[in-house]
Amino acid sequence: MSSVQKELQISNCSDRGLYQDGSCQCDLGYFGEDCELKLEELHMATYYTFIGFFLILFTILLLFTLKQFQQSLKMNKIPSYQKYENR
């Protein structure tokens, strides 16, 4: 049995890559010495933080818009968008 075959038996790269030249060549989306880590898990907290801030800002903007619309209704100053005909 060659040394390469022995190394293949020792390291299977977590079934997420190929063992070549003494190290794992990981599939897309995986990294680490034995391809045990997922790239998407690395950025999961950042992703949820971004979604949270986006939802907060969207909610604030929606509430501000509703408040402005409510004030426009009270003051009866709703802009009308009518086409004017040129004569």
The domain of 5 spans 1-39
- Token reading at 79: 């802009």
Q: In the numeric block, which tokens belong to residue 52?
A: 């949270």
pLDDT digits (tens, 9 = 90+) for 51-82: 999 999 999 999 999 999 888 888 877 666 66
Establish if 83 belongs to a structural domain.
no
Band of pLDDT at residue 21, cut at 50, 70 and 90: confident
Verify that 1 and 33 share a domain, yes or no: yes
φ, ψ for residue 18, nearest 5 deg: -115, 140
CATH code of the domain containing 35: 2.10.25
DSSP secondary-structure letter at 15? Answer: G
Which pLDDT belongs to residue 87? 58
The model's pTM is 0.42
Structure tokens at 9: 């038996």
Judged by average pLDDT, the poorest of 11-15, 16-20, 33-37, 50-54 is 11-15
